[in-house]
């Protein structure tokens, strides 16, 4: 999630200007996911700018193609480079598109960082028991998710099939007693329970816990990745004298 930057879905129509130094593209903004006033004014002119040379961080765009982009405003012009997040909309997975469409504002509370030890934190979040899941959440600093699959290319399951989102606390509620003699007592318990829930929610917000969302596709990707890692380790051990 690019929470510190403006991010928009644009349609690149064609090249507007092309010289030895810079190239500009005629674009149309299809959707704003996060936008500052300054960025909105710059994009309203219908142009984006980039260097004409890839060696100076220029970015190439295809005509009549939709892109999800971030960038910088320089001299009231929106500039895009290889340092910015730029992806064709059709190349994003279903989970990524859903994240930008529906869960973008929710995910902005959380950040992603590399884990201090790949071997120690690997696959903690795949376990179904509560103890292991709790250990995984505590492994990262509050407000962060560990990007454990960053260098896995096609098995970068967290980037392709998951999102780093805040943990939503779930608490059980007490059933009301049917006995009229205990109505007043039960009402007091209910108020006490509501106070406990509010305190726990407030504590969760303060802790700022975050974790990767889990889906069947994500689990399958992580399982395949682990099988490939185990297979590679077995082959390397077999080759040793």
* Domains within the chain, CATH numbers bracketed: 6-91 (2.40.50.120), 93-120+138-169+195-234 (3.90.370.10)
Residue 101 pLDDT level (bands cut at 50, 70, 90): confident
Write down the pLDDT at residue 117.
55
Write down the pLDDT at residue 4.
57
Write down the pLDDT at residue 193.
67
Residue 240 pLDDT level (bands cut at 50, 70, 90): low
Average pLDDT for residues 67-74, to the nearest whole number?
92
Residue 127 pLDDT level (bands cut at 50, 70, 90): very low
Is the model's pLDDT at 205 over the cut of 60?
no
More confident residue, 206 or 82: 82
Write down the pLDDT at residue 171.
45
Task: Tell me which residue of 212, 2, 210, 211 sits closest to 105, measured CA to CA.
Answer: 2
Write down the pLDDT at residue 125.
45
Write down the pLDDT at residue 196.
63
More confident residue, 132 or 27: 27
**String of DSSP letters for 86-118:** EEEGGGS-HHHHHHHHHSHHHHTT-EEE--S-H
Query: Is the pTM here over 0.85, yes or no?
Result: no
Average pLDDT for residues 2-25, to the nearest whole number?
86
Range of lowest pLDDT (16-25, 124-133, 181-190):
124-133
Write down the pLDDT at residue 147.
87
Residue 174 pLDDT level (bands cut at 50, 70, 90): very low
Question: What rounded mean pLDDT belongs to the chain?
Answer: 75
More confident residue, 162 or 64: 64
In the sheet that holds 7-18, the strands lie side by side as 72-74, 77-79, 47-51, 22-34, 7-18, 65-69, 86-88
Residues 154 and 93: their CA atoms lie apart, in Å, by 12
């Amino acid at each position: 999630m690019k929470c510190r930057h403006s991010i928009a879905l644009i349609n690149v129509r064609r090249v507007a200007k092309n010289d030895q130094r810079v190239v500009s593209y005629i674009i149309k903004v299809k959707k704003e996911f996060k936008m500052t006033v300054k960025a909105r004014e710059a994009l309203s002119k219908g142009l984006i700018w980039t260097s004409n040379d890839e060696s100076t961080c220029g970015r190439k765009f295809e005509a009549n193609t939709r892109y999800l982009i971030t960038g910088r405003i320089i001299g009231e012009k929106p500039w895009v480079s290889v340092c910015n997040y730029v992806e064709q909309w059709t190349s994003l997975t279903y989970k990524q598109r859903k994240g930008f469409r529906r869960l973008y504002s929710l995910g902005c509370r959380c950040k992603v960082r590399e884990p201090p030890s790949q071997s120690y934190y690997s696959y903690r979040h795949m376990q179904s028991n509560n103890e292991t899941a709790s250990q995984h959440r505590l492994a990262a600093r509050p407000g962060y998710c560990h990007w454990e699959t960053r260098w896995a290319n096609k098995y970068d399951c967290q980037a392709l099939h998951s999102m780093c989102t805040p943990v939503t606390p779930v608490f059980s509620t007490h059933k009301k007693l049917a006995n009229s003699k205990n109505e007043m007592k039960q009402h007091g318990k209910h108020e006490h329970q509501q106070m406990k829930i509010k305190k726990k929610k407030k504590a969760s917000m303060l802790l700022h816990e975050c974790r990767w969302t889990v889906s069947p596709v994500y689990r399958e990707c992580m399982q395949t990745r682990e099988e490939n890692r185990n297979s590679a380790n077995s082959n390397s051990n077999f080759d040793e004298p």
